[in-house]
Structure 1
Amino acid sequence: MNLDERPPRPPTQERLAELLARRAAWVGRPPRRPVAGEPPETTVLVVLRAVDLPGLVRGALDFTARLTHDEADAWRRSWTTTRFLFGNPANLTARAPARVISPGGNTAWLGPFPATRLPGPSRLLKPVAGVLLDLPDTVEVPGTGGPADATYRELHIAVRDLSFAQYLVHLHHALAESVLMGRLAPGGPLRLVHRPDLDARALDQDPDYARVHQERSDPDRLRLYVSLSSDPPKA
């Protein structure tokens, strides 16, 4: 079917397309890239020994906040592309050192690297795969250095039909890009909220961050995968 012959999108799909276009404008690329675009120029590697969601979140925020301006800009223009690999961060060598290791030592971040010159772990370690295990409805990630009663931001994630790797991709994109956009403080408390689906009709007002991508079962439709709650009210 020719694009001009497709039936008009319902209002919710139009809204999701608008949010995807805004993200593409922030990246500086055409909005078609998340669906079927060119390979990235810059890639980050994440090595996982075990599933530790609080540590993963804390480490992803810390890693992103430590990037230089040039590194952050290059990664942004590559859609914050990240590869997830199974491995033990303790076994990384001086030739490919971790830039950040999560609290507890279960996850390590390397890079960013030019996508055509990735280090040894990208070839030696097995890519993350497998089904997504049952997740708790909520996961709390306490802040670092702030008051104990600080208001938690909430990151809502749609998990229906996602594999483990797909879940990590959506989560990590949302964390990294929220920090790069200045929408999420890297040391602030955060609560992950897992739901089968997110209601895109709640996006009448601009969210602090929304990750929109194509629906796996229907590539012609868009789906809201992640939404970040608004900034906590000021005292």
Structure 2
Amino acid sequence: MGKSLRPSYMEIRDKLFASIEKGEFCIGDQFPSEIEMAKSYGVSRETFRSAVKVLEKEGRVVVKRGVGTFVTTPLKTIPSSLEKLTSITDIIRAASLQEGDRSEQISEMLCEPEWAENLQVKVGDPVILHERIRTADGEPVVFSLNIIPRALIGDAFEKKEFSGSLLQFIEKHCRVKIEQADTEIVVPLHTDRYCQKLLVHPHTTVLLMKQVHYDEINRPVFYSIDYLRNDVFKFMIRRKR
């Protein structure tokens, strides 16, 4: 039988996790010293430390520097957490709703000052303006304006049929991987012409999310302006002291 390709620290992570699940280490218990634990599992301190880092990231343990490692209760995952960059397509599907598009419009424009500042290009540079309404179970729930430098997108929209996630489209056809985004959330005026596209019910309210999306070396890739129905979308963030 061939040697396992699974990293040794992940095997130790699995053993530690199993011990916690069996109650051998209970909530609040402190692990023995790193030296003792590494010796008991027959691995180096570095390997054991890497396993603990995985458990810490998963919320199974908390490491208090200079004190020790303690077993803790993992918190529930926050739905629609702002900490995770997620496409509108995935958010709609995660809510078990049928995602769709309407009123798609793609045009070339000269870059406006706000767009240029966020994209780090010159005012007047050619950009592609991509507008569309996103639907969930047939109702309009998002109006999106996406501004993409022409130098990046080229004629990808002209050559390829587009629908669904813009993040995935850019990654596939422009070979650019989106890694993170800076996000600003504001409340638009109801007189905003884009906001009005979503005011389909008397109780409807709208949030405005402005995002600059960056690639792996932190270059701005595109600037998105999304109007989202607040009666459909809820966004949360977990804060720590």
The TM-score bracket by the shorter chain reads under 0.3
Normalised by the length of structure 1, the TM-score is 0.27
| Structure with greater contact order relative to length (CA < 8 Å, sep ≥ 6) | 1
Larger Rg: 2
